[in-house]
Amino acid sequence: MRLDAGGLIDRSRPMSFRFDGRAYGGFAGDTLASALMANGVRVVGRSFKYHRPRGMLTAGSEEPNALVEVLEDGQQTPNVRATVQEVFEGLSAQGQNAWPSVRWDVMEVNDLLSPFLSAGFYYKTFMWPRAFWEAIYEPVIRRAAGLGRLSGRHDEAAYEKAHAFCDVLVIGSGPAGLMAAQVAAQSGADVILAEEDARMGGRLLADRGMVDGQPGVDWAAGVVAELATMPNVRLMTRTTVTGAYDDGTYGALERVGLHVAPQPNLPRECFWRIVAKQTVLAAGALERAIAHPSNDRPGIMMAGAVRAYVNRWAVAPGKRVTVFANNHSARATVRDLIAAGVEVAAVIDPRPDAPDEPGTRVFKGARVVGTKGRMGLKEITIDHEGRAFRFETDCLALSGGWNPTLHLTSHLGKRPVWRADIAAFVPGDNAVPGMIPAGACNGDFSTAACLAAGQAAAVRALSVLGIKPADIALPAAEDDATDMTPLWAVEGKGRAWLDFANDVTVKDVKLSAQEGFSANEHMKRYTTQGMAPDQGKNSSIGALAVLADTTGKGIPETGTTTYRPPFVPVSIAAMGAGARGMGFAPQRFTTSDQASRDRGAPMIEAGMWYRPSYFPKPGETTWREACAREVAMVRGNVGVADVSTLGKIDLQGADAARFLDFVYTNTFSTLPVGRVRYGLMLREDGFVLDDGTSARLADDRYLMTTTTAAAGLVMRHLEFVHQAFCRDFALRFISVTETWAQFAVAGPRARALIASLGIVQNLPFMGVASVMVGGVQGRLFRISFSGEEGYEIAVPARYGAGLFRDLVARAETMGGGAYGMEALNVLRIEKGFITHAEIHGRTTAFDIGMAGMVSAKKDCIGKAAAQRPGLNGPEREQLVGLRPQGDVAISAGAHLFNPGDEAKRENDQGYVTSVGPSPTLGGYLGLAFLKDGRARHGATVRLVDHLRGIDVLCTVCDPVFHDRDGGKMRA
């Protein structure tokens, strides 16, 4: 019920929202949890395994029960913690893991079966038959037990990622964090203050303590207002630091737009990478429960959360509240409830010497041993001095003490350390270099201790940075001891939950120990404790204590599991912000792109490049028709293609020739100026890296071309060889791929077309010359990837678009035209030229028939490794040509078998790498790797493509189908 006054909500800004299809009202400043509570909604979710009705347990991001699906425009985001989701006008959410609703859930039958569903049940029951696990058991179990559903649609919303740098990162804005930020900021350091909540202040927002003579919440607001005016401070609310990584790097998730209705361009979340020279961890502490029988009913919640709901959101979690706590801090809950006009039925305090409490009755040395109320707490039973008492109560405020929120300190592998005096784990020493834990996360629980620790941490951080700390007086605040006597679990009839989210009980942990899974890491995996979205924040220490009790080992001996990132669930969409769909990779466009599209060419992706597949003419209905025409055009007339995507590297220096001799298998130092040579490059392991041509432009200057696919790879390889093996060479090189637009002009009339440009060059085959193209300085190469007389003409990229249109227009007046990737591929297959379909990383120079290109007169990268046994011989699959026997299509990826052999792996003879329909020779041609293939020309092999259902006999032949002696390209 909403209280009449108080709270940090803005009652002048009412908000309407929907939950499970019903309309409710809340106020600005409400979370979904506080607003639902204000509306009397107690059941907000169903538990994972038993489908038990569940209500809010906490008021923070650690919430294990109140997980909901937020709905927007056909999308649904599961596992949203209602305690984190802020209410906004139009918010729509629904309970999850329930059907048809959280109030009436048919899977509740699981709860009746609970005696059979203890830890390990599935492993034991569904062992046999083995194959049934993946196919039948697991899918069925997964459908019954789950934590929310996705929409199944692409998440097309905007997400963001960002990088930030600072001198001091302060994580958490409670008293310790605010104090640290204030000292660091006033000393002149660049400060980032990250706070998970929508509002800065931490526990000061939930408690009524005084700081510096004013209510803590006012003191916090004052400090935040001052920080907000400082240019060296970045205040980040709604930002959870999720992970600590090397060198002061932290991951953080900011909820940018999740607290308002979706807006165009507004990111839902931003994933930050923050690099901090020093970090103050002021993450506070999480209250821990006491595992008493039937402790999971809606209405049972943490005592600190009850205070938060009362003080911050002006909501009474019940009409008649009982407090069950083993410590002093929970007494504030009693006082705050009474101050708010809520009846406190009793305090159940297990400490025999517990103090009295004005305004209510204290049962000292007592425990809660049972509860009633299916859809919400109605009654509790306590054991007091051996006698059972029953109380009517609709809210039980629970506190078993506080666990420091030290998760980030474990992210680099350091284990927390047990402190017996406060019965809690604290961060290990120097757990994360540069990170200083301060305040409650370090075991200092009082407000005064937190303020002092925050100040001390900032001073320490500043001294590392060499910054003189500003002199700021420490404000006065309460300094009460927590005075806690550990109580982890209460014996009694009925299940006592430890992990609410994954439905793990005290009995499950005991069973785990009995069955031999007595190490903490084993128990966790056997019971699934700590593996839900809250990652054990509410349960790990309690489960550990129960385990330690069961095995008879102490808590420190049993030890915690180490916490790993992320601290809270992080959506993959935020980490991958911007990389969805076309954002996955850059798009690279050639200078001829628009001209190709203007001619109706379908563009295909080749790496990141977009290249024309073919240039359709009126009347052509398939790619094959266009491709056949374009091939015939090149073979019979002249064609133009953009080949700018090939990698181009300008190498200069007195040692450039020496360097090329080292990286290529063949010799380039003997290449005359003005000539081009084909070269083959090996990796250090002896396999083929790439091929291409290099032109000698001057004595000390070469222009290397690489394949499109390996342009970056070759550049990296050259850098490595240069820096690692040839660092003293007089050599410098740089990519000029993007600088030049380059077009192939191929066919028997190519020379005529070049001449029509006014370029009169009687270039020999494999020659290069500097030429004027119009008034522009360009280069002309005589090289051929088609097998016809071929030229490549290069101009600075700005002239590429213009030159391409000009070349194509000239070709068309001659009866030729542009050709695309399909024709280019068929032309090179007809000629037996390889691409990365053939030099795919597992083939050697021997395999592709180029062993002779590995010079015997010199060493080169990969030469020694290529001579290893098994890389040169009849056992190798060698490059061959294939022609199907009959007019049928064959496919790349098909495998080869001896005729008569069964088409199975053991009989594999090789595989097909490239195929194409050849208008020149008629029918399909293929390039393939076949065992001892060069000795099998003329033989018949069986080609089988299991995927496409192709099974045909082929004749093995030489891979060069067309113009084997090369007379045409040398013409």
CB of 728 to other proteins, least distance (A): 6
CB of 808 to other proteins, least distance (A): 13
CB of 589 to other proteins, least distance (A): 6
> Is the CB of 798 or the CB of 964 nearer to other proteins?
798
Interface ranges with other proteins (CB under 8 A): 158, 160-165, 190, 256-257, 260, 263-267, 273, 275, 578-579, 585-591, 608-609, 650, 652-654, 728-730, 732-740, 756-758, 773-776, 795-803, 806
> Is the CB of 145 or the CB of 807 nearer to other proteins?
807
> Is the CB of 103 or the CB of 805 nearer to other proteins?
805
CB of 732 to other proteins, least distance (A): 4
CB of 304 to other proteins, least distance (A): 27
Residue 242 neighbours by CB distance under 10 Å: 23
CB of 903 to other proteins, least distance (A): 42
> Is the CB of 255 or the CB of 936 nearer to other proteins?
255
CB of 689 to other proteins, least distance (A): 22
Residue 11 neighbours by CB distance under 10 Å: 12
CB of 611 to other proteins, least distance (A): 12
> Is the CB of 572 or the CB of 730 nearer to other proteins?
730
> Is the CB of 486 or the CB of 802 nearer to other proteins?
802
Contact 644, 744 (CB under 8 A): no
Q: Give, to the nearest 10 degrees, the angle between helix 623-636 and helix 821-830.
A: 60
> Is the CB of 274 or the CB of 894 nearer to other proteins?
274
DSSP H helices, 846-921, are 863-866
> Is the CB of 141 or the CB of 275 nearer to other proteins?
275
- CA–CA distance from 209 to each of 281, 335, 443, 664, 837 (Å)? 22, 11, 19, 77, 72
- CA–CA distance from 84 to each of 34, 112, 512 (Å)? 10, 32, 33
> Is the CB of 110 or the CB of 645 nearer to other proteins?
645
> Is the CB of 495 or the CB of 599 nearer to other proteins?
599
Name which of 411, 430, 446 is nearest 244 in CA terms.
411
> Is the CB of 266 or the CB of 604 nearer to other proteins?
266
Distance, CA of 547 to CA of 524 (rounded, Å): 10
Question: What residues contact 816, with CB distance under 8 A and at least 6 apart?
Answer: 633, 634, 637, 638, 639, 640, 747, 749, 753
Residue 25: alpha-carbon gap to chain centroid: 37
CB of 818 to other proteins, least distance (A): 16
Secondary structure percentages of the chain, helix, strand, coil, to 5: 25, 30, 45
CB of 440 to other proteins, least distance (A): 28
Question: What residues contact 755, with CB distance under 8 A and at least 6 apart?
Answer: none
Structure tokens that stand for 391 in this block: 């109380």
> Is the CB of 611 or the CB of 782 nearer to other proteins?
611
> Is the CB of 37 or the CB of 649 nearer to other proteins?
649
Distance, CA of 389 to CA of 382 (rounded, Å): 5
Structure tokens that stand for 719 in this block: 């850098």
Burial class for 735, CB neighbours closer than 10 Å (0-12, 13-18, 19+): middle
Name which of 216, 63, 48, 252 is nearest 148 in CA terms.
48
Distance, CA of 82 to CA of 32 (rounded, Å): 5
Cα distance from N-terminal residue to C-terminal residue, the chain: 94
Contact 629, 620 (CB under 8 A): yes
CB of 897 to other proteins, least distance (A): 43
CB of 516 to other proteins, least distance (A): 48
> Is the CB of 4 or the CB of 728 nearer to other proteins?
728
CB of 1 to other proteins, least distance (A): 28
Q: Which residues pair with 18 in a beta bridge?
A: 23, 92
Give the HSE-up count for residue 766: Cα atoms under 13 Å, Cβ half-sphere: 14
> Is the CB of 200 or the CB of 757 nearer to other proteins?
757
> Is the CB of 562 or the CB of 756 nearer to other proteins?
756
Dihedral of CA atoms 318, 321, 327, 329 in degrees, nearest 10, equals: 50
* CA angle in degrees (0–180, nearest 5) for 544-545-546: 90
- Strands (DSSP E) contained in 871-949 are 877-884, 895-897, 910-917, 924-931, 940-945
Q: Which residue has the tokens 């999740």?
A: 258
Burial class for 157, CB neighbours closer than 10 Å (0-12, 13-18, 19+): middle
CB of 607 to other proteins, least distance (A): 11
Pairing mode, strands 343-349 and 362-364:
parallel
CB of 464 to other proteins, least distance (A): 18
Contact 380, 368 (CB under 8 A): yes
> Is the CB of 160 or the CB of 218 nearer to other proteins?
160
Q: Which residue has the tokens 């070709």?
A: 811
Residue 502: alpha-carbon gap to chain centroid: 25
How many separate helices (H) and strands (E) can be counted in the chain?
A: 24, 50
CB of 70 to other proteins, least distance (A): 18
CB of 577 to other proteins, least distance (A): 9
Task: Please compute Rg for the chain using Cα positions.
Answer: 37
> Is the CB of 14 or the CB of 653 nearer to other proteins?
653
CB of 645 to other proteins, least distance (A): 8
Question: What residues contact 538, with CB distance under 8 A and at least 6 apart?
Answer: 57, 58, 62, 64, 286, 288, 289, 499, 500, 501
